Amino acid sequence: MSASRQRTQVAIIGGGPAGLLLSHILDQQGIDTIVLERQSKDYVLARIRAGVLEAGSVQLLRDVGLGARMDQHGKPKDGTGIVWQNKPAFYINTAEWTGKQIMAYGQTAITEDLYAARERDGGHIINEAANVALHDLTSDTPHVTYEKDGVICRIDCDFVAACDGFHGIGRQSIPSDVLKTFERVYPFGWLGIMAKVPPLPDFVYAYHEKGFALAAQRNPMLSRYYVQCDATDTIDAWSDDRFWDELLARFPSDMASQIVTGPSIEKSIAPLRSFVAEPMQYGRMYLAGDAAHVVPPTGAKGLNLAFSDIYYLSRGFIEHYKNTRAHYLETYSQMALRRVWSAVNLSWRLTKLLHRFPQEDPFDERIRQNDYDLLLTSPAVQSALAHEYVGLPYED
Ligand code: APR
Ligand code: PHB
């Protein structure tokens, strides 16, 4: 088997939103990167993910020149609704409490924008890179190996950014006596569908004794809906008719009557977990995005956390190469984890609030009902939720 050898400043593992955004930002600063992605570009672009951007993510994308299509096709929203069986509805009014809006714009569209920008700018992205392995991470000369078209390739680099998701190689490269992980696996999943029908005006979370539901959107003719399902469910057990019946039953009748149903063009079940890996750096390797943390989608934090990681990590690399200072690289893990744990906390609390868990007892349900009553009646609680939902500020 032949071999090849390359060199770059930052080797990025993973061509999802985190890896592509990091490559884009560093390229703008004249810092050389190579992105190694094990899947094809089409495979990456076919992924269906969430569609809510925090205000900080919107600003970051605009600041790095990736806001044009988002501002053209995205929909700014003053917040997100909550409807609750036999109680008044609530609106997480981020505009009122924080002065900021969220943005309805799908992760798939963002990934398309990122790929388009990297290809326009001549970004070095290697798709279908197999058997990526990381070497000498605690030395000053780490390197990465991978296979492509029967060739074993080596990339010598200054740093490795592991943006390779929950199932990636980066986190696995941290020794078990260094790595600490924290996890909650939820006893249910979300069954999501995409349908070419007009969505409700706003995102709406629904609490109901039959289970959680969510009304979401991608554009004026593309809706995204979810229902809570058993963790062991398969999509074969969910015809479109069963899905729509369950969804409409979980919304108040006046709102259910506004929901336009139609054939699903995509249907999938996502397992729910909370997961955090500490530290988010090891030697000259830095974890970012789902490689370091996973949240249940209840707070729509997954993509937004990936972006704040990249904001912090790119600032560290830029400081290193421009000012030869190491402050932001040395403090990356602690700083990123402060925001990660805040988002993990909110996602856990919203998931507990909006989902019935198996084996719950009447005490649990009373606490849940009281939590919602407090949200309905307390301006302080409403303000706190709005600030967390729109996204806490990035640290200087
Ligand atoms: N070698 C190369 N590439 C890899 C490897 C590997 N060993 N393992 C994983 N990858 C790639 C995956 O194919 C994927 O394209 O890394 C990429 C990681 O992308 P994501 O999983 O999308 O993670 P991230 O970029 O952190 O974005 C987080 O995406 O999954 C959603 O809910 C998540 O919204 C959040 C966002
Ligand atoms: C989505 O748009 O798919 C979405 C929105 C809000 C969430 C989760 C998913 O909390």
Residue 3 has pLDDT above 80, yes or no: no
Ligand nearest to the CA of 307: 1
Residue 2 has pLDDT above 80, yes or no: no
Q: What is this structure's pTM?
A: 0.97
Please give the structure tokens belonging to residue 30: 């004249």
Amino acid letter at 45? L
How far does the centroid of ligand 2 lie from the alpha carbon of residue 199, in Å?
A: 13
pLDDT, position 124: 97
Ligand nearest to the CA of 308: 1
pLDDT, position 1: 61
Percent of the chain at pLDDT > 90 equals: 97
DSSP conformation letters of 308-351: HHHHHHHHHHHHHHHH---HHHHTHHHHHHHHHHHHHHHHHHHH
* Ordered alpha helix ranges (H), the chain: 17-28, 41-45, 55-63, 68-73, 94-98, 107-120, 240-250, 253-256, 302-323, 327-330, 332-354, 362-377, 379-390
Residue 69 has pLDDT above 80, yes or no: yes
How far does the centroid of ligand 2 lie from the alpha carbon of residue 329, in Å?
A: 32
pLDDT, position 120: 97
Q: What is the pLDDT of residues 86-118, one digit of tens each?
A: 999 999 999 999 999 999 999 999 999 999 999
User: Could you tell me which residue, 192 or 323, shows the higher pLDDT?
Assistant: 192
Q: What is the pLDDT of residues 269-327, one digit of tens each?
A: 999 999 999 999 999 999 999 999 999 999 999 999 999 999 999 999 999 999 888 99
Cα separation of 128 and 112, whole Å? Answer: 18
Please state the rounded mean pLDDT for residues 250-266: 98
Please answer whether residues 72 and 113 qualify as being in contact, where contact means their C-beta atoms are separated by less than 8 angstroms: no
Residue whose CA is closest, atom 3 of ligand 2?
Answer: 50
Please state the rounded mean pLDDT for residues 121-135: 98
Mean pLDDT of the chain, nearest integer: 97
Please answer whether residues 297 and 355 qualify as being in contact, where contact means their C-beta atoms are separated by less than 8 angstroms: no
Residue whose CA is closest, atom 9 of ligand 2?
Answer: 50
How far does the centroid of ligand 1 lie from the alpha carbon of residue 94, in Å?
A: 29
Query: Pairing mode, if any, of strands 204-207 and 79-84?
Result: parallel
pLDDT, position 295: 98
pLDDT, position 318: 98
Three-class secondary structure of residue 261 per DSSP? coil
Please state the rounded mean pLDDT for residues 360-371: 97
Query: Pairing mode, if any, of strands 204-207 and 213-219?
Result: antiparallel
Q: Best mutation site among 82, 204, 226 for ligand 2, i.e. most ligand atoms within 8 A of its Cβ?
A: 226
Please state the rounded mean pLDDT for residues 253-259: 97
Residue whose CA is closest, atom 21 of ligand 1?
Answer: 165
pLDDT, position 380: 98
Q: How many CB atoms within 10 Å of residue 327?
A: 12
Residue 48 has pLDDT above 90, yes or no: no
How far does the centroid of ligand 2 lie from the alpha carbon of residue 225, in Å?
A: 9
Three-class secondary structure of residue 160 per DSSP? strand
Cα separation of 135 and 145, whole Å? Answer: 8
pLDDT, position 324: 81
How far does the centroid of ligand 1 lie from the alpha carbon of residue 113, in Å?
A: 16
Please give the structure tokens belonging to residue 256: 């259910």
Our answer on whether the CB atom of 302 is closer than 6 Å to any ligand 1 atom is yes
Our answer on whether the CB atom of 144 is closer than 6 Å to any ligand 1 atom is no
Q: Best mutation site among 146, 164, 171 for ligand 1, i.e. most ligand atoms within 8 A of its Cβ?
A: 164
**Among the atoms of ligand 1, which is closest to the Cα of residue 169?**
7
Which of 23-32, 44-53, 229-238 is least confident?
44-53
User: What CA–CA distances, in Å, run from 129 to 148, 152, 286?
Assistant: 5, 10, 20
Residue 7 has pLDDT above 90, yes or no: yes
Angle between helices 107-120 and 17-28 (to 10 degrees): 40
Q: What is the pLDDT of residues 201-254, one digit of tens each?
A: 999 999 999 999 999 999 999 999 999 999 999 999 999 999 999 999 999 999
* Residues with C-beta less than 6 Å from any ligand 2 atom: 50-52, 203, 216, 224, 297-300
Please state the rounded mean pLDDT for residues 171-180: 98
How far does the centroid of ligand 2 lie from the alpha carbon of residue 174, in Å?
A: 31
Our answer on whether the CB atom of 37 is closer than 6 Å to any ligand 1 atom is yes
How far does the centroid of ligand 2 lie from the alpha carbon of residue 52, in Å?
A: 6
Contacts of 56 (CB under 8 A, 6+ apart): 304, 307, 308, 311, 391, 393, 394
Please answer whether residues 90 and 376 qualify as being in contact, where contact means their C-beta atoms are separated by less than 8 angstroms: yes
Residue count of the chain, please give it.
396
Our answer on whether the CB atom of 287 is closer than 6 Å to any ligand 1 atom is no
pLDDT, position 241: 98
Give the phi and the psi of residue 99 in degrees, each rounded to 5. Answer: 75, 5
User: What CA–CA distances, in Å, run from 283 to 10, 37, 142, 166, 280?
Assistant: 14, 22, 9, 20, 10
